[in-house]
Structure formats: structure tokens, C-alpha cells
Structure 1
């Protein structure tokens, strides 16, 4: 039985962590023995199949290069200890660490680029180091064509595109009367540009004061966003709620799901909202994740990055036309078949088996 070890930061709230939970569940039911190595200690949010072994040798890492070498040693020690055949490393740092850790060992290394790789272009040393080490990967998995195209040809030659899976356990789409709510669920980080969403909602609220905005998530921007909401005088209609395991039940009746990111890989919250039948409005941001699944004005709406007026106009287009909203909803749920977890797991098995 082939031993596969996923390397990720944690099993806390995050898109990569959700994908790891879904993939390991599928692979553990196939002919693989599956491990998850988490590099940092964080509260586990996602359920993990009982057949998956979680390896969590959490340590207090030193700063700088010494801390990075500690992580490399942990990965190497676990590869040797468990006689791992394949490492699947989520994030560029973990992929780089895994390449170094595997030196001289008979192990296949797969890197998984989870975000926009161009975000490192101004960090020249890190960008160059990543490219050098990625050339040593046996396979690189990207989520979008644009992400793949960013890398040099030698890396592209060993790159495959695999979209994120939708969990088989996701609840059924809601077909009843919608609530006058706009929702999002994501990490509260600068990348998500949630001020744009607040600005767009402010414009909408002037015309439709019976609507509210619910933001679900945790992150470094929480206090800044709360202060921004206070400054707008919108505390009675905009709320920031903690991330919860049953977030799908909380948002399923919403009129609109919105995500105003400056950049993304392939947003899990976006594809899950579509699968729930919530009309979806997102930015057409680098590295093209929305473009991989949305046909504009057919199964969702894409607007320009950092354009709150365009997002407001998309909200209004949905609100004034229940027929259009229903079309978006009905077409959106078709993503369940496209991103069926068994179909996506089959693509991953091909990458793992080489």
C-alpha cells in the first residue's frame, strides 16, 4: 500500500486545509495509507477520516533561517519514520521545504500552489529560490491556467491543473424563499479586500435598507473591519461573525454571496456558495480562479478588482430580477458535478501515482 503524506500548515480554518480534509478522506478509502503532517498548532476545524494519521510534532520554531531548517528536518524525519512514498506539500513554502527535506530519499514530491504565484514577483530572492526548487519537484499542481503560465517552461512541463473538490457532505441547495442578506465566509485578511464589500453594501443599503451583510470568518483584519463598519455608521446592518463548522447552514438562504478578493487561487467559499445555489458575485482577480468556473452572468457575476460600484451594480441586478437570480442559482449548482470530489480525487491519484 502506497504511503502518502500531505504537508500543510494546520487543520484550522482555511481553503487549503479544507481541500486536504476532502482529498485525504477520498484517498484513505482507496489503496493508500494517508498521513497529514501539520507544521503549526492551530485548533482543528475540519473533520478528518479516522483512517488518516495526523502527525503533529509542533515545536517552538526559531526565527529566520534556523526556523526554516527546523521545518525541513521535521519533514525529513517523518518521511524516514513512516517510509513515505509520496509527499504532497500544500503552499510554496512547504513545497520548498519538502524538496530540500527529500534530498537523497526515494520519495516522490508533489507541490501544490494554493494562491497567486505572482505575489512573490517583487520578492526576488524568494521568487528565484522557489523556481530553482520547483524544478526539483516531480509534479506541481496548480489551480488555474494563469498560475501555471506564471512559471518558467521547465516547471510548466511538470505542472497539472486540478481544481478544488466540493465535499460529498455539503448540504443540499436551498430552494425556498431567500432572506434579504448578503453573505461572505472567508479569512479576514488584507488579500480578501473586505472593505470593498462594505463599500458596495453601503451603496446598496441607501436604496435597499431592509438588507443586511453578514461576514463569517477570523483573521488579522477583524478589528480594522469592525472599526471601518463603525465609521460608516452601519453597525446595525453589518455583522462580523466567527467562523463556524455549520457556516453553510447559516448562509444557505442568503440572496447573494460576495467575495471581493484582490487575488485568489480557486476560492473554496465561492465554489461552495455556488453549490448551495446562492447567486454569486466575485472579483475577476489574479490568478484567474473565478474564470475557471464562472461564465459571467450565467452561473455567477465577475466584477473588476477594487471596484465597489461595479459590485453594488451586480448586487442590484440580482435583487431587481428574481428570474435572473434564479438562473444564476440553477446554473451555479451544476458545479457540484464538475467539482465532484471523486472526480477531483481521481485526478490527484494520477498525479500521486506518476
Structure 2
């Protein structure tokens, strides 16, 4: 005979199991957004949270090590191409997994947020949206529908998580939401993991690059990252006699254009662009300087990784993130955006002046200690538990 379970006992059973959290991304790229989501998933207590990661597109082969260990991963399609008519397919697959979830987390803006919000509405599930960019700057480069999407979708989410204080302020200026709905949980890295990866040997192609001091940059080859300004700054420093190499890791639409710029400036033999590198940390650790030349950011993961490795940092004072991380120059050198001359001088001094370089390295390590992963994960735990 079936014995009915008292309502209170049923509630206790539900509360005793881990909360099921579905994170969703469009694809597994090489950028900081994917790393920030994976860091949250890897850091959550598995006794309290059962996590799954859903992609619209299958993760590319060779990038499995970027996923959280023992992560449950699923995707909608094996194709890497996006076609708008496939949106119902992505949504249908997302709904399959979201039915089993207690909370849906849209790991990035755009299409991931749109479908997560639709799934939440259809299934009656709470949705959390993550904000990674300074939208005050970013929306000017995007189609107008992106800004409409922000204003339509995010006020309907239960919580919005911004990766930094400046990012939150710029978002709220565009999308007014109540203070209790918008929360700042900074991006973070696991310093021990980053430093362990940095101990790996150099790739076979890399030793000739490191025959001279290296300025390294990491990111998508897109206008946002300002690599055109960095290449011009590199050329100016070499003209002043600062003998060094520039290493830019990443892929993107500007690869041909950036290589042509290096040729036009006569520095093609000292600018190295090997494309995507699975483990950039081994190269960052051995570099003289880490350069961030962005026109805008959110709270860049690669900057946090550089600090964890003790890399001397030279960064643009772009909106937003670098000033927040570097405390307006206390832990790295900051230069104006789009100023190749100032960038050149800062990089040249960091390469040439060992005392200065060692001081920047010490400051970087000290700042990395301040940016604790534990505090961010505690905030994520509290947020997800409350929904």
C-alpha cells in the first residue's frame, strides 16, 4: 500500500539534495567569458550544487581541458555555424535540460540570454543573467537590437550578476533595474591552477620567440582588443632601441589586417601571432611584460591570470575593469586608450628597467592575493541557494 509522504517531509527531501543549476553558453570559445563561467562551475561545492553546462554548438575538439573536471556537458548541434532559423532547435534542446534544473544561468549576453530567458518563462524557472562587458562602450559597436535585447530580457530575470562595479554602473545606466536585482560578483581565477599550468614546457615553436624579452598579449583578434595600437606601440619602442618581441595569442577576424600592419611598420619579423594556444600561461610566465591594449572590457580574466603569475602589467585605462583590478595603477602601469606613444613608453620601460619590472611583478602577486576566489564563490553559493 502506498503511504503518502507528509508535505513537510517532502520539502526536507527536496532541500537535502543538491540544487540543480544549468549554465548555458553559445559555444566554447577561447575567451574570458567561457573561462569565468567554467571557474564558477568548478568552484561550487558539489555537495550543494549539481551543475550542467549546455552549449548551442558542440565544443571544438582539443578544448576539453577548458571544461570543469567531471562536468556534465551537452549541446544542441554538432555544427559550428549559426543560422537564425535554428533558434527553435537550440531552444528545444535547452528546454530538455532546463526541465531538470532548479535555476538557469545565462552565462553570457546575447543569444544565450535570450534562450535562457525564454526557457525560464516557459518552464517557470528562475533565471540568472551574467554581464561581462562594459555596455556603455560595447553597445556602440553592436546592432541596436542588442541594446533592445538587454532592456527587454534582463529586467525579467530574477538576478543579474555583473563582473565588476564599473560594469554594473554602466549596465544600470542603460538598463534601469532595482538595486536588489543587480549584484556584483567579481570574476576570479584559481591561482594554483593557473600557476600549475604555467610550469608546462614551451610549445615547439616558441623558443625562438623567447630569445629576446617578450611582451605578450592574449585575446580575440577583434577591434575591442586594440591590438593595432599595441603593434604600433611595439614599433615605436623598437625605433627607440628597445629590442624585444611582441607575442599576440588569439584568433579572430583581424588576423590578416594586423599582420599587414606589422609588415607596413617594418616589424613583421618581431611580431608573432601563432593563433589559438591551449595553454597561454606557460608563455605568459616566461614573458617580460603582459600588455592589455583594449578599447573596452568588463573585468578581463586574462588580466587576473597575469596577476596570479606575477606578470608585470601594462594596461589601457579602458572602460571598464582594468582600473578596478589594478586599483588605478597601484598594481600595474595604466595608459590612455588609443595612445600608442604612451603604451610604447610604458612597455619600453618595463622591458628595459629590471628594477621597475621586478617591482611590477611583486605588486601583481600582492594584488592576486587580494582577489580571492573564495569570496566570489561564497557570493555565488548564497545567490543560488536563495533562488
> What SS does the aligned partner of 2:342 have?
helix
Shift of 1:250: 1.5
Match of 1:38 in 2: 55
Q: 2:341 aligns with which of 285, 289, 309?
A: 309
Distance 2:330 2:302 in 1: 19
Note if 1:263 corresponds to 2:296.
Answer: yes
Match of 1:139 in 2: 159
Note if 1:330 corresponds to 2:362.
Answer: yes
Match of 2:203 in 1: none
User: 1:22–1:341: 8 Å Cα contact kept in structure 2?
Assistant: no
Q: 1:249 aligns with which of 282, 288, 309?
A: 282
> What SS does the aligned partner of 1:10 have?
coil
Shift of 1:209: 4.7
Distance 2:344 2:67 in 1: 39
Match of 1:160 in 2: 183
Distance 1:30 1:291 in 2: 36
> What SS does the aligned partner of 1:72 have?
helix
> What SS does the aligned partner of 1:240 have?
strand
Report the RMSD for the aligned CA atoms in angstroms. Answer: 2.4
Q: 1:128 aligns with which of 141, 148, 160?
A: 148
In terms of mean alpha carbon deviation, does 69-78 or 109-118 score higher?
69-78
Q: 2:128 aligns with which of 92, 100, 110?
A: 110
Note if 1:76 corresponds to 2:95.
Answer: yes
Shift of 1:100: 1.5
Shift of 1:304: 1.2
CA deviation string 1:113-170 (max 9, x = no partner): 1112232257444313321221111110111223222324425431111111112411
User: 1:148–1:156: 8 Å Cα contact kept in structure 2?
Assistant: no
User: 1:183–1:213: 8 Å Cα contact kept in structure 2?
Assistant: yes
Distance 2:19 2:70 in 1: 14
Classify 1:253/1:126 alpha carbon distance in 2 versus 1 (closer, same or farther; 3 Å): closer
User: 2:293–2:316: 8 Å Cα contact kept in structure 1?
Assistant: yes
Shift of 1:96: 2.5
Q: 1:232 aligns with which of 240, 265, 271?
A: 265
Distance 1:270 1:62 in 2: 30
Classify 1:341/1:178 alpha carbon distance in 2 versus 1 (closer, same or farther; 3 Å): farther
> What SS does the aligned partner of 1:157 have?
coil
Classify 1:125/1:320 alpha carbon distance in 2 versus 1 (closer, same or farther; 3 Å): closer
Note if 1:18 corresponds to 2:38.
Answer: no
User: 1:260–1:283: 8 Å Cα contact kept in structure 2?
Assistant: yes
> What SS does the aligned partner of 1:171 have?
helix
User: 2:23–2:54: 8 Å Cα contact kept in structure 1?
Assistant: yes
Classify 1:244/1:204 alpha carbon distance in 2 versus 1 (closer, same or farther; 3 Å): same
> What SS does the aligned partner of 1:261 have?
coil
Classify 1:139/1:240 alpha carbon distance in 2 versus 1 (closer, same or farther; 3 Å): same
TM-score by length of 1: 0.90
Q: Higher Cα Rg: structure 1 or 2?
A: 2
CA deviation string 1:177-221 (max 9, x = no partner): 996111111111121110100000001011235211111111221
Q: 1:47 aligns with which of 53, 66, 70?
A: 66
In terms of mean alpha carbon deviation, does 112-121 or 68-77 score higher?
68-77
Match of 1:171 in 2: 195
Distance 1:334 1:9 in 2: 35
In terms of mean alpha carbon deviation, does 113-122 or 49-58 score higher?
113-122
Count of residue pairs brought into register by the alignment: 348
> What SS does the aligned partner of 1:246 have?
coil
5+ residue gaps, structure 2 = 1-17, 200-209
Shift of 1:41: 2.9
User: 1:171–1:248: 8 Å Cα contact kept in structure 2?
Assistant: yes
User: 1:34–1:51: 8 Å Cα contact kept in structure 2?
Assistant: no
TM-score by length of 2: 0.83
Match of 1:347 in 2: 379
5+ residue gaps, structure 1 = none
Shift of 1:262: 1.1
> What SS does the aligned partner of 2:359 have?
helix
